[in-house]
Amino acid sequence: MNDTSAMPTAFAELSRKIADRTALVGIIGLGYVGLPLINAFTRAGFRCIGYDVDPAKVETLKSGRSYIKHIGSSVIADWIARDLFQPTADMSRLGEADALLICVPTPLNASRDPDLEYVESTARSIAAALRPGQLVVLESTTYPTTTRDVVVPILAENSGRLKSGTDFFVAYSPEREDPGNPDFSAAGIPKVVGGIDEVSCDLACQLYAHAIVKVIRVGSAEIAEACKILENTYRAVNIALVNELKMLFDRMGIDIWQVVDAAKTKPFGFQAFYPGPGLGGHCIPIDPFYLSWLARLQGMTTRFIELAGEVNASMPRYVISRLTEFLNDLGKPIRGTRICLLGMAYKKDVDDPRESPSFELMELLLARGAVLTYNDPHIPSLPKMRHYDVPEMNSSALTADYLQSQDCVLIATDHSDYDYDFIVRNSRMVLDTRNATKHVTEGRERIYRA
């Protein structure tokens, strides 16, 4: 930590506000990252202002209602009642916050290059309201150098004579949310922080230390950015490995799930990853391609990452090919077959559909003429999706009559709410892509794996 006595007035004043928790924390992007952050800071005694360009989200929050399962409406209502949280769609109010944490999407474009539209537009909005003594922290996952080469120039150019490191301060701290995991809240996951300069890192570390269990200071914003990319690429590559082995072992009649369970008994040198119908969520299907794009700019190719992406992207089609084989054995084509897609969320026990492989499975099945319905207790109606033409459809009630009317139940997401004994008992055929039926004993002859 630097000696604050020698620091500019803007630094000293903001440091004091953070220390006595009078700093107003602004969260930009009130989604799966932003709301848990607000929860962490309000619990730590800070007041928060939340910004989102979607007026419907803002009005929902103002009324004390939540649209994210793991941050309940009672929590939102409590923030509002105690005047700890103000949601707004008015970006001219960005100057009110002492610290601004950017939690906006960073998708890929059609050619799998980084799309920083939301980051850049947010930076321009901040710049228009920027004042001395503000800290800006980018949390959105991105490639190394984004904070320094994209965000800082926008802030400096559009804010007049204000200077980074003297008048305002900029850092990067990657989000590490794990929705649906009750063992980890935003406050309970260590936070990596890297600043554009030492004083910016000082302030960001001071802020997060109040709300997060542990802060890990690193030498630069670029290290923090690269850290996040490494974390998610590590997972993507290892999931691709086990997905590829699954396809091999299927041909050999070997149960990949039993193989992984056996391997994970080794107390060192192995971490268990599991196969599935494809990758989902905002991070793992996207982040490795940020690194591939960056490598191309450096005149390199990341063959390992590209291959992992190809394997993981192929899994929905592999599931459909296995379904086709199993139906053929029963004398049925996919066309006209009644199929229930069980689970639309990208992982168990969450209401997050982002990049879920279930939507590609749905698209592939509809293209082949299947009569498709779905059930997901966390997603009552299908949302609009960026890359898929999603039909208007509501979740079907998972009754015995409904299951018995289906030719196949395809388990795409293994929600804990599901009674798999009941599902198998009342289904003609179950295609399990998640090993969700491993403990089912009655009716195992109706269970197929893909």
Catalytic residues: 283
Query: Pseudo-torsion of CA 95, 101, 104, 107, nearest 10°?
Result: 130
Characterize 226-238 residue by residue with b for buried, 16 or more Cβ atoms within 10 angstroms of its Cβ, and e for exposed: bbbbebbbebbbe
CA distance 346 to 314: 16
CA distance 196 to 246: 44
Q: Are 15 and 4 in contact (CB under 8 A)?
A: yes
Residues 6+ apart with CB under 8 A from 77: 64, 65
Strand, helix or coil for residue 244 = helix
CA distance 229 to 142: 7
- Name the strands in the sheet holding 447-449, side by side, starting at the edge strand that comes first in the sequence: 371-375, 338-342, 408-411, 430-432, 447-449
Can you read off the two tokens belonging to residue 250?
A: 């299927």
Element (H, E) at 234: helix 221-252
Cβ neighbours around 389 below 10 Å, total: 10
User: Residue 384 region, left (φ>0) first, then alpha (ψ -120 to 50), else beta?
Assistant: beta
Among 428, 416, 442, 2, which residue's Cα sits nearest to residue 195? 2
Can you read off the two tokens belonging to residue 443?
A: 């009716």
